[in-house]
């Protein structure tokens, strides 16, 4: 009876054996089994960790973040003292990581684009030099470059006390405003006589906001000029207006808040005042820039070579000069090849900044992942948080750049 | 079928891992045939390789004494270099059996990090070293100075406390190892180097012109340095503790590396010497060691006083006085409980 019943239902019927022998269901079965095995493995790993930790008398507890850190950090972008919590120390480290990553990405892009274009130069000397740079930096570990640059700075530059005396062995540059020492470079800083709400940070935020608003306004002006050119063939001169829109409000604000230069001066053991760019920051920034720049140069070169020769020949035939050909014809087409690998170079740079520990730059790896873990013994928690931070940062960078990539990539319709 | 095999392998591995963790440290050391000690990456006098690549030093000798006591062979000791930041992970994970790396015994390391400190082999305190030409005579004159400091140490916390308590400012330069700190200090990238006073003396001894650097009079902390083991294996902790005590007791009783074998050959007049050297009673056996364990340890490296004088004492370039580390009978703090 039952057999007939099954046959009677035809295609709507379902037998357990179909899970294995029917091609429609087999892949589902395999996926389900693989999923179950994976979950079991993860459960076993987590359980193993927890069991072993509890055998050592340890539990997973993030309460240490609220306790007093007790150690000092030299480079702090937000106020911090040794009496603040480990959480704040981690935040100081995160900002230091983001600072060097931001500076590094910008500088590496500039270096990379210049080197990539120069490597394609017909001038044998320039292209040869760039080839040496690219191959030299791409093929030597980053850590070595960081340490070499750091060592050159701390061994080769004068000590602050060499600037002292009637006939000092070293002297400051640019009208006594910049001092290059073996502890870093001291440059003049901007200080406000009457900052907004008594806070320098808020003042800078306001000025930055004014610049951003100026940039937006300038874009509007440019679009209008473009529209006029499209319509009438005449292009109105807009650059003085655009420049004024971008810089005007910011300069006005600087005057309002009584901005002045704060030059570094030798006082006691060190230079005081101004901005102190530490050896560790410079070494890390410089090394990350040159190292990642070498990879970006190759991306740029590949991108430019991917644009067919006919394009530039057509541009020349229209009478465009080489510079305009590059900026109007080649680069826009090359960008769609350059951007995707550029994103991963930015991610690499950000993650490579964790080598900061080698030169004592206090990034998040050195504060949360170094001293805090060492003082509290919370290796697992600290490393989990650290991993989470790098994951979130990388995904954010990648998401932002994907938006940009979407705007420059070849539009297929 | 294949899945069963896979799962079986995984389960087997898990069980094997669990079993390996359950055996005691002494058994692991005996099975392996050598003792693994965590030492510094190089601090002359305490632990540093000599010209032949042999590890030498005050902490190294303690490790060799433990190897002699547990395995009968002082050369069955392997050394793993650790930095201030990696030492505790290395110990907690079982990569090393004992940490003999001038590590300060503190409450939170003992209880929060879950280690056992098996005594104090050097009573120390944190000091400051500066170039003599700076003309600094007191640590209180260091306002605004740049200070090189080994990161992940108690000195880092003491330094923050000291400068905050005295309301003076400083710029910390965090550094990973003693060698890097030395290089930064000599290059003038920092004005001051701070670490344990013994470490400063050891570092200064390696300078070309040691006279051009002064160690300031302030000692800003208590730094009892001692060997550490993992929490949870009390027998192993006792072995390390009593090996150290045996070395101190040997100095007190006048047992030296020169006369220990004669004294251990047969029971003598002094019952404590007999008990220590295993010719009377069964003290070493209580820890699962051979009866001549402590005799071997003393024969290998000498008593505490000999170890001190040979590595860091006044006759060496480091030139540390016994000070707090003299025996209690001579006004110091080194005092071992009786072998009874």
Determine the pLDDT at residue B8.
46
Q: Are residues B116 and B238 in the same domain?
A: yes
Helix ranges restricted to H, A269-330: 279-305, 309-317, 322-324
**Is B15 contained in some domain?**
no
Cβ neighbours of A161 in B, within 8 Å: 134, 188
pLDDT (tens digit per residue) in B34-66? 999 999 988 888 999 988 989 999 999 999 999
- Whether B201 and B320 have beta carbons less than 8 Å apart is answered as yes
**B20 within some domain:** no
Taking alpha carbons only, the member of A372, A401, A396 closest to residue A82 is A372
pLDDT digits (tens, 9 = 90+) for A241-299: 888 888 888 888 888 877 777 777 777 787 877 788 888 899 999 999 999 999 999 99
Is A224 part of a structural domain of the chain? no
Q: Does a structural domain hold residue A301?
A: yes
CATH number for the domain spanning B175: value is 3.40.190.10
Residue A231 lies in a domain: no
CA pair distance A275, A250, nearest whole angstrom: 21
Asked, for residue B242, whether it belongs to a domain, the answer is yes
Pairing of β B145-150 and β B192-196: parallel
pLDDT at residue A143 is higher than 80: yes
For residues B247 and B202, membership in a common domain is answered with: no
Q: How confident is the model at residue A200 (pLDDT cuts 50, 70, 90)?
A: confident
Cβ atoms < 10 Å from Cβ of B46: 28
The total domain count for chain B is: 2
B116 and B236 belong to one structural domain: yes
Claim to verify: residue B163 and residue B310 sit in the same structural domain: no
Average pLDDT over residues B130-154: 86
Any domain includes A134: yes
Of A116 and A162, the structure prediction assigns the larger pLDDT to: A116
Has residue A45 been placed in a domain? no
What tokens appear for A142 in the block? 């980053």
| Residues in B touching A154 (Cβ below 8 Å) | 183-184, 187, 189
Tell me phi and psi for residue B330, to 5 degrees.
Answer: -115, 25
Q: Which of A57, A81, A374, A379 to mutate to test the interface with B (most CBs of B within 10 A)?
A: A374
pLDDT category of residue B16 using cuts at 50, 70 and 90: very low
Burial of B245 (0-12, 13-18, 19+ CB in 10 A): buried
**Chain A, window 246-285: residues with a beta carbon less than 8 angstroms from a chain B beta carbon:** 267-270, 272, 279
Q: Strands B223-230 and B122-124, how do they pair?
A: antiparallel
> Looking at the domain assignment, is residue A173 inside a domain?
no
Which residues in B lie closer than 8 A to residue A182 (C-beta atoms)? 187-189
A200 lies in a domain? no
For chain A, what is the domain count?
1
Q: Give residue-wise pLDDT tens across range A379-404.
A: 888 999 999 999 999 999 889 888 88
Contact A360 B175 (CB under 8 A): yes
B216 shares its domain with B297: no
Give the integer Cα–Cα distance in Å for B143 and B168: 5
Most confident of A270-274, A371-375, B233-237: B233-237
Q: Residue A153's closest chain B neighbor by CA?
A: B189
In Å, how far is B313's CA from the nearest CA of chain A?
A: 31
Burial of A265 (0-12, 13-18, 19+ CB in 10 A): middle
B140 touches chain A (CB under 8 A): no
Q: A385: distance to nearest CA of chain B, Å?
A: 17
CB distance A215 to A207 below 8 Å: no
pLDDT at B11: 46
Are B236 and B114 members of one domain? yes
pLDDT at residue A113 greater than cutoff 80? yes
Residue B241 and residue B319 in one domain:
yes
Q: What is the mean pLDDT of residues B145-149?
A: 90
The residue behind tokens 């690499």 is A348
Same domain, B237 and B278: yes
Query: Do both B130 and B209 map to the same domain?
Result: yes
Domain hosting A92: range is 61-162+278-412
pLDDT in tens, A304-326: 899 888 988 999 999 988 888 88
Percentage of residues of chain B with pLDDT beyond 70: 94
Contacting B residues, span 147-176, partner chain A, CB-CB under 8 Å: 151-152, 156-157, 159-161, 163-164, 170-176
* Residue where a domain terminates, one of B222, B248, B280: B222
The reply to whether B44 and B113 lie within a common domain is yes
- On whether residue B108 sits in a domain, the answer given is yes
Using the 3D structure, point to which of B172, B196, B222 is the last residue of a domain.
B222
CA atoms of A390 and B117, how far apart (whole Å): 36
Q: What interface predicted TM-score (ipTM) does this complex get? A: 0.73
Q: Do B144 and A374 touch (CB under 8 A)?
A: no
> What confidence tier does B18 reach under pLDDT thresholds 50, 70, 90?
very low
pLDDT exceeds cutoff 70 at B21: no
Helix (H, G, I), strand (E, B) or coil at B49: strand
Q: Residue B328, Cβ neighbours under 10 Å: how many?
A: 12
Q: Would residue A385 count as lying in a domain?
A: yes
Cβ–Cβ of B160/A82 closer than 8 Å?
A: yes
Domain span at residue B43 reads 27-121+226-330
CATH number at residue A142: 1.10.3720.10
Average pLDDT over residues A71-78: 87
Q: Count of CB atoms within 10 A of residue B219's CB?
A: 16
- Kindly determine whether residue A182 and residue B188, on different chains, have CB atoms separated by under 8 Å: yes
- Chain B (88-127) residues lying within 8 Å, Cβ to Cβ, of chain A: 88-89, 92, 108-109, 112-114
Nearest C-alpha of chain A: how many angstroms from B115? 10
Q: Are B324 and B331 in contact (CB under 8 A)?
A: no
In a domain? residue B35: yes
Q: For residue A49, count other CB atoms closer than 10 A to its CB.
A: 12
Put simply, whether A155 touches B (Cβ < 8 Å) is: yes
Across A192-220, b (16+ Cβ under 10 Å) vs e yields beebbeeeeeebeebbeebeeebeebbee
Per-residue confidence at A12, pLDDT binned at 50, 70, 90? low
Q: State both tokens at A301.
A: 């070169």
Residues in contact with A227: Cβ distance below 8 Å, sequence separation at least 6, in sequence order: none
Q: Are residues B115 and B258 in the same domain?
A: yes
B253 with B202, same domain: the answer is no
Handedness of CA B81, B86, B87, B90 (dihedral sign): negative
Last residue of a domain, one of B188, B222, B256: B222
């Amino acid at each position: 009876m039952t057999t007939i019943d099954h046959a009677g239902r035809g295609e709507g019927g379902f037998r357990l054996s179909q899970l294995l022998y029917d091609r429609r269901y087999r892949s589902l079965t395999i996926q389900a089994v693989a999923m179950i095995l994976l979950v079991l493995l993860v459960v076993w790993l987590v359980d193993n960790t927890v069991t072993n930790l509890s055998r050592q008398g340890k539990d997973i507890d993030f309460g240490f973040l609220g306790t007093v850190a007790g150690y000092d950090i030299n480079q702090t972008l937000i106020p911090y003292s040794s009496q603040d919590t480990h959480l704040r120390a981690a935040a100081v480290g995160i900002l230091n990581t983001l600072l060097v990553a931001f500076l590094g990405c910008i500088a590496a892009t500039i270096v990379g684009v210049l080197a990539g274009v120069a490597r394609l130069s017909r001038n044998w000397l320039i292209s040869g030099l760039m080839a040496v740079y690219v191959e030299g930096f791409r093929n030597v570990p980053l850590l070595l470059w960081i340490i070499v640059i750091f060592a050159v700075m701390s061994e080769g530059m004068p000590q602050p006390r060499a600037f002292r005396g009637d006939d000092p062995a070293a002297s400051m540059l640019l009208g006594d405003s910049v001092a290059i020492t073996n502890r870093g470079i001291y440059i003049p800083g901007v200080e406000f006589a009457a900052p907004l709400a008594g806070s320098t940070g808020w003042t800078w935020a306001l000025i930055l906001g004014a610049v951003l608003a100026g940039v937006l306004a300038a874009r509007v002006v440019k679009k209008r000029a473009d529209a006029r050119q499209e319509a009438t063939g005449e292009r109105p001169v807009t650059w003085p207006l655009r420049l004024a829109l971008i810089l005007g409000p910011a300069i006005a604000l600087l005057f309002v808040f009584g901005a002045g230069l704060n030059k570094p001066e030798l006082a006691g053991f060190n230079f005081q005042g101004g901005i102190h760019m530490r050896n560790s920051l410079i070494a890390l920034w410089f090394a990350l820039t040159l190292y990642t720049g070498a990879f970006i140069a190759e991306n740029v070169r590949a991108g430019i070579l991917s644009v067919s020769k006919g394009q530039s020949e057509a541009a020349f035939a229209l009478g465009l000069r080489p510079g305009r050909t590059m900026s109007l014809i080649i680069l826009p087409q090359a960008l769609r090849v350059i951007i995707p690998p550029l994103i991963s170079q930015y991610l690499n740079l950000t993650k490579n900044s964790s080598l900061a520990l080698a030169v004592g730059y206090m990034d998040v790896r050195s504060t949360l992942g170094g001293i805090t873990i060492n003082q509290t013994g919370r290796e697992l928690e600290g490393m989990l948080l650290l991993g989470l931070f790098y994951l979130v940062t990388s995904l954010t960078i990648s998401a932002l750049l994907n938006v940009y990539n979407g705007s420059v990539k070849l539009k297929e319709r | 079928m294949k899945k069963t095999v896979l799962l079986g392998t995984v389960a087997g591995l898990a069980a094997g891992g669990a079993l390996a963790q359950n055996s005691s440290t002494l058994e692991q050391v005996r099975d392996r045939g050598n003792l693994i000690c965590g030492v510094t990456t190089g601090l002359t006098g305490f632990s540093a390789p000599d010209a032949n690549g042999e590890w030498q030093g005050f902490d190294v000798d303690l490790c060799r004494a433990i190897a002699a006591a547990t395995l009968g062979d002082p050369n069955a000791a392997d050394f793993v270099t650790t930095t201030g930041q990696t030492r505790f992970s290395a110990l907690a994970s079982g990569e090393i059996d004992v940490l003999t790396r001038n590590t300060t015994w503190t409450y939170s390391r003992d209880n929060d990090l879950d280690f056992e400190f098996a005594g104090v082999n050097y009573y120390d305190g944190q000091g400051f070293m500066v170039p003599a030409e700076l003309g600094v005579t007191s640590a209180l004159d260091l306002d605004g100075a740049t200070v090189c400091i080994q990161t992940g140490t108690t000195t880092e916390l003491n330094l923050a406390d000291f400068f905050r308590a005295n309301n003076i400012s400083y710029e910390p330069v965090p550094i990973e190892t003693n060698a890097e700190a030395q290089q930064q200090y000599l290059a003038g990238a920092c004005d001051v180097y701070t670490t344990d006073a013994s470490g400063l003396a050891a570092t200064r001894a390696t300078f070309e012109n040691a006279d051009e650097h002064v160690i300031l009079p302030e000692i800003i902390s208590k730094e009892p340095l001692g060997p550490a083991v993992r929490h949870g294996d009390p027998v192993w902790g006792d072995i390390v503790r009593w090996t150290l005590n045996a070395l101190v007791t040997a100095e007190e009783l006048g047992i030296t590396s020169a006369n220990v074998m004669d004294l251990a050959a047969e029971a003598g007049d002094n019952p404590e010497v007999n008990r220590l050297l295993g010719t009377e009673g069964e003290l070493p056996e209580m820890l699962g060691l051979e009866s001549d364990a402590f005799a071997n340890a003393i024969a290998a490296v000498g008593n505490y006083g000999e170890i001190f004088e040979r590595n860091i004492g006044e006759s060496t370039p480091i030139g540390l006085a016994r000070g707090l580390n003299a025996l209690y009978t001579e006004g110091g703090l080194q005092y071992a409980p009786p072998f009874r």
